[in-house]
Amino acid sequence: MNQTIVNINDGAVSNPKIVREFGIESLCTQGKYDFVGYINKNNKMLISCPKHFEYKDASDIKLIVGCILKSFRKTDKGSNAVIDCNIPLMPYLHILDFFYKYGVFKSVNSRYTQGYGGNVDWNRTIRRSPKVVSGGNLLFVPLELKKIKTERNFISECMTYVINDGFEQFGKYVGIGTRIDSDSYVFNNINPKAVIRQLKGEESKYFKDIEIQLIRALIKYFSWEGSMTDQSYFVTQSFDLSWENMIHNFLNSNFAGYDFKTETILFENECRKYSFKKEKDSIETADKNNHRFLVEFDHKTKVNDDGKLFLFDSKYYTRVSEVNYKQVAYHYFLSNGANGEIIPPESIVNGLILPTKQNYRSAVHIDRRNIDGVYIQEHYINIREVMEKYIS
């Protein structure tokens, strides 16, 4: 990558010079950077890493963007709601998905010949061939033979161009896409408006949804080609949602249990011993109006043999500065049977999971065991390890 890379961290105090140079005033809050992603401007790239993530080299750009893409393609909020970018990411991904499933688009043409050997089209034969009775049998002579021929066309060449151009423009920086060979039509001095006009004309010739959606994705990509600037960006201000998805994956893959003596989580690579789920529950209050409100457990699982319940909440913090009262309230709800089942406080393993650039460690968040049984820990997990396992 022949360009200068400037790396910062989400949540760090902003540098006025960097803010002005890359025009990221709207991505700063209260004097701090408030986003994860990259901005490519005038052959300089600003990469904003997640909190506690220690930048090493340009390959980290692929790691960071790969995690964002994977997590937000899975979330019910959808990528468009949480990713801000001026690159045609969704059209490009749609075109890539088509390519990986079906290859480069080819038109299918049916041609018919008359003969006696090959793929017989019986419907056409019955309609068109002369009928001959021989030996009491009805014969059709000659037979109508169907030959299928696939050919590259204008859509094929547009698709090839987009796959290669998208890879060079942004795909290779973020670890998506590939280059493919093009042995025929080449776009020279491309005129996006002319290409779009022709693609819209082609759209009316096709009837399958996958073909129409492919053409529309191509139109969106070439619309971007016609409005390119000297700056591209891919950012999110919702990396906390990515962290939640990544931790959910990490727990389900590597959580091996809990050591009650050392009060630490036990991890085992790809052991898959527990199934954590994100759960929502409706809690009824004790007031005279019987109001109900929704609680949401990020990562919850119960061990049936000993009745232990693991309840974790993923927190994307720079540092913990105050008590997490939501997690305290959830502890009370469960131990008091607000959801219909009373769980003894000592059976609830309750904790917050936070990122760190160091090795795993645990700390006490709140200890009220001698009062009402509430005990909540902080579990710090290496963010690079979580991210690498997420996209491995």
What pLDDT score does 187 carry?
A: 61
Name the more confident of 126 and 251. Answer: 251
Q: Which of 142-146, 177-181, 254-258, 302-306 has the highest mean pLDDT?
A: 254-258
Lowest mean pLDDT among 4-13, 62-71, 233-242, 350-359: 62-71
Q: How far are the Cα atoms of 188, 312, 370 from residue 262, in angstroms, in the given order?
A: 66, 18, 19
* Percent of residues, the chain, with pLDDT higher than 90: 46
Digit-coded pLDDT (tens) for 191-214: 888 899 999 998 888 888 999 999
Residue 316, pLDDT > 90, answer yes
- Judge residue 236's burial from the number of C-beta atoms within 10 Å of its C-beta, 0-12 exposed, 13-18 middle, 19 or more buried: buried
What pLDDT score does 204 carry?
A: 85
**46-63 average pLDDT score:** 93
Q: Is the dihedral of CA 54, 59, 63, 69 positive or negative?
A: positive
Quickly state the pLDDT bin for 283 (edges 50, 70, 90): low
Report d(CA 264, CA 326) in Å as an integer. 22
What pLDDT score does 250 carry?
A: 97
| Residue 8, phi then psi, degrees to nearest 5 | -135, 180
Lowest mean pLDDT among 300-309, 333-342, 376-385: 333-342
What pLDDT score does 119 carry?
A: 67
Nearest Cα to Cα of residue 274 among 243, 241, 312: 312
Residue 139, pLDDT > 90, answer no
pTM: 0.75
Q: Which of 6-20, 299-313, 320-334 has the highest mean pLDDT?
A: 6-20
Across the chain, what does the average pLDDT equal? Answer: 83
Written as one letter, the residue type at 331 is H
Residue 181, pLDDT > 90, answer no
Q: How many residues does the chain have?
A: 392
What pLDDT score does 77 carry?
A: 44
Digit-coded pLDDT (tens) for 67-124: 998 888 655 444 556 888 888 888 998 999 999 999 988 876 555 566 566 666 666 6
**239-268 average pLDDT score:** 95
What pLDDT score does 76 carry?
A: 45
Lowest mean pLDDT among 145-159, 263-277, 309-323: 145-159
What pLDDT score does 339 carry?
A: 62
Q: Cβ neighbours of residue 266 under 8 Å, at least 6 residues apart? A: 255, 256, 257, 258, 259
**226-254 average pLDDT score:** 88
